[in-house]
Structure 1
């Protein structure tokens, strides 16, 4: 039932369509990214192969063209293009900036070979004679027909060569990497092993026909199922590392946003922004983090005239007694000096005589704000006992006098 309705190929094709749609926004934002273009090309060709190979699609193509078996060279051409695009993707994926020239050279060669094979497949079909429509067993039915036989062998040989090349490239690369990239490469290897199994089934059925035996069920029944599984594995293998990287980046951005919130709250009163760039639930996390960091730097700039280098030095001595490392102690001292400056600024304490707020700069006192990880360490240090004591001392030191009520 699934076979007659094409569900054995339409369902995997729909799965790949979803994956492709998830990648298109990134390509829209960065259309010159060759790796993204290659990923989308492989996914698009895989979708075309799946949808064109389904039985209802084969019938529709033959009826539309009015040529019996016209769907065969189209499917074989798409499959060959998918094979070439897969090799190009592996080349671009594995090549860093130092291998750009090598990657471009082999990419051009791969394009040329793929184009030659696609043209040859269609020429051989035109030269051959296949008047009887065969939807599921064309490989074996025309296994001995001149030119059609060569067309079938050519696409199978190209498909087999692609499986061997991609499997070898991915396996060597997988032994050098770890994590999601390694998992994705292993999935691609497994998918191409399924492809090689598909080719083996097809070759076995064709050779059996040459020898006078009937093994058509291998080509018409088992091979399509193997091919359908291979497309899902290969598509998932290409997408898994990129999706994992995207999720990891997104998670890191949310974690940084949460870690910087205490520092942002500490400086919120001194922030001079009058417009929220990242307001609304639809704002991206990247924009939210950018807004948060901009507000923090703006607040530091506002209170910088009140930063006290001597106070920071005292805080550093105390922080070294409890801090686990030098960077943590520096961040704690910076946070203490900043907390003191915020209190002094909020109480409108006059600046020392002769000081010029326009010439004051936090870089002469603080060392952490210009380092992205330093901001996070400062934000965490705000809850420490050292910073809390300096903040409370500043509040007591600058508490306005309370008038005594008259009797």
Structure 2
């Protein structure tokens, strides 16, 4: 495969990191955003630097046989730490407690990384081994300890993550539960990876040869486990983001009838801010709400509060709840005001009523409810009566 089994997951993880890069730049101070981005970047680095072609190239470049071995072990240790850090920030809790756990985790695994480098420097590994470094040097002083330290650190992280994710999954539902169960599966595979490595190394200690556990079984298990862990971390965040975006677009479209009703009052060309075709949904909603409120400002002198009260009473009498009655009453008042405003091109009524304060003194309007209520038969009847009154006016 010439390293493709390593490079393909590395590329997938780099693409995922690139997709999150704009959010990382915008929200650099958010610990959760940083933790997710670091995890994706470190995970991709594990596969990139663990690929045999990369190992050989780095060894040749530095002139140090097996230079890549401690580098890969350090990156793998950093990956274990980043998983724990992400889970710590993901679960939340008191800020001081979260920071304390984060510092403890970072400090512990930083110490492990320093120990790996020191043990490699003290040991002697003159023969380059691209795929079987662990078993070839399993009995070499100091290098043996380096291999043992990285496997223990990786195993501890996998056990902790498996237990915590499993425990947390029992108390949540939906995409978060699915993501946690995927992570549990991924970390169980990590434990299988560690078991395969330990089996091969211990076999060498006892004079046996079970290298295939390390060279043939462990690498594909590691690749699949990283895929499951990555999906498990990203899935709840992606579903949450898509859900928020979807709800924002739903709100935008639900505001459409009310926005279009008021377009004749506040022409589109009078907007202070232009929205491009590529503007995000939340900005579009903000602009649409601003346009609607501008329309209300222009219509305020034409609002018939008696009509609103009468319509509310009629809807309540029909058995509707108070929220629907209020939205329908507001919609009827808006529809009648639009007609009244159209019948007064010279704006003779302006100044006869208090500007907007009278209409908004009872609290903020339910704009989405008003927009949906514009299709109510009562509102349609209000439009017809307003039109007939307008046509009968000399």
Specify the alignment match of 1:208 in structure 2: 203
How far the C-alpha of 1:353 sits from its partner, in A, is 10
Q: 2:108 aligns with which of 105, 108, 113?
A: 113
Matching of residues 102-251 of structure 1 within 5 Å: 102-251=97-246
How far the C-alpha of 1:236 sits from its partner, in A, is 1.1
Residues 267-276 or 26-35, more deviating:
267-276
Deviation string 1:116-142 (CA, Å, 9 cap, x unpaired) is 100000100000001111111111111
Specify the alignment match of 2:32 in structure 1: 35
Q: 1:318 aligns with which of 314, 321, 336?
A: 314
State whether residues 31 and 37 of structure 1, in contact with CA within 8 Å, keep that contact through their aligned partners in structure 2.
yes
State whether residues 165 and 181 of structure 2, in contact with CA within 8 Å, keep that contact through their aligned partners in structure 1.
yes
State whether residues 38 and 85 of structure 1, in contact with CA within 8 Å, keep that contact through their aligned partners in structure 2.
yes
Q: 1:14 aligns with which of 11, 26, 46?
A: 11
Q: Provide the C-alpha distance between the structure 1 equivalents of 2:188 and 2:360, rounded to a whole number of angstroms.
A: 59
Specify the alignment match of 2:339 in structure 1: 343
How far the C-alpha of 1:325 sits from its partner, in A, is 1.8
Instruction: Give the secondary-structure state (helix, strand or coil) at the position aligned to 2:263.
Output: helix
Q: Provide the C-alpha distance between the structure 2 equivalents of 1:143 and 1:389, rounded to a whole number of angstroms.
A: 87
How far the C-alpha of 1:187 sits from its partner, in A, is 1.1
Q: Provide the C-alpha distance between the structure 1 equivalents of 2:10 and 2:225, rounded to a whole number of angstroms.
A: 12
Q: Provide the C-alpha distance between the structure 2 equivalents of 1:132 and 1:304, rounded to a whole number of angstroms.
A: 85
TM-score in terms of structure 2 length: 0.95
How far the C-alpha of 1:269 sits from its partner, in A, is 1.2
Specify the alignment match of 2:329 in structure 1: 333
State whether residues 278 and 287 of structure 1, in contact with CA within 8 Å, keep that contact through their aligned partners in structure 2.
no
Deviation string 1:67-106 (CA, Å, 9 cap, x unpaired) is 111100000000001111110110011014xx11001011
Deviation string 1:177-206 (CA, Å, 9 cap, x unpaired) is 111111111111111111100000000011
For the structure 1 residues 359 and 16, does the alpha-carbon distance in structure 2 shift closer, same or farther, using more than 3 Å as the test?
closer
Query: CA RMSD, aligned part only?
Result: 1.8
Q: Provide the C-alpha distance between the structure 2 equivalents of 1:271 and 1:231, rounded to a whole number of angstroms.
A: 55
Specify the alignment match of 1:405 in structure 2: none
Q: Provide the C-alpha distance between the structure 2 equivalents of 1:281 and 1:352, rounded to a whole number of angstroms.
A: 38
Specify the alignment match of 1:94 in structure 2: 91
Specify the alignment match of 1:377 in structure 2: 369
The alignment of Structure 1 onto Structure 2 pairs a total of residues equal to 392
Instruction: Give the secondary-structure state (helix, strand or coil) at the position aligned to 1:89.
Output: helix
The answer to whether residue 84 in structure 2 is matched with residue 80 in structure 1 is no
Q: Provide the C-alpha distance between the structure 2 equivalents of 1:290 and 1:118, rounded to a whole number of angstroms.
A: 49
TM-score in terms of structure 1 length: 0.92
The answer to whether residue 275 in structure 2 is matched with residue 283 in structure 1 is no
How far the C-alpha of 1:361 sits from its partner, in A, is 3.2
For the structure 1 residues 356 and 337, does the alpha-carbon distance in structure 2 shift closer, same or farther, using more than 3 Å as the test?
closer
Q: Name structure 1 gaps, 5 residues minimum.
A: 403-407
Q: Name structure 2 gaps, 5 residues minimum.
A: none
Instruction: Give the secondary-structure state (helix, strand or coil) at the position aligned to 2:310.
Output: helix
State whether residues 188 and 234 of structure 1, in contact with CA within 8 Å, keep that contact through their aligned partners in structure 2.
yes
Q: Provide the C-alpha distance between the structure 1 equivalents of 2:318 and 2:181, rounded to a whole number of angstroms.
A: 47
Q: Provide the C-alpha distance between the structure 1 equivalents of 2:29 and 2:357, rounded to a whole number of angstroms.
A: 44
Specify the alignment match of 2:378 in structure 1: 386
For the structure 1 residues 286 and 333, does the alpha-carbon distance in structure 2 shift closer, same or farther, using more than 3 Å as the test?
same
Instruction: Give the secondary-structure state (helix, strand or coil) at the position aligned to 2:131.
Output: coil
The answer to whether residue 49 in structure 2 is matched with residue 52 in structure 1 is yes
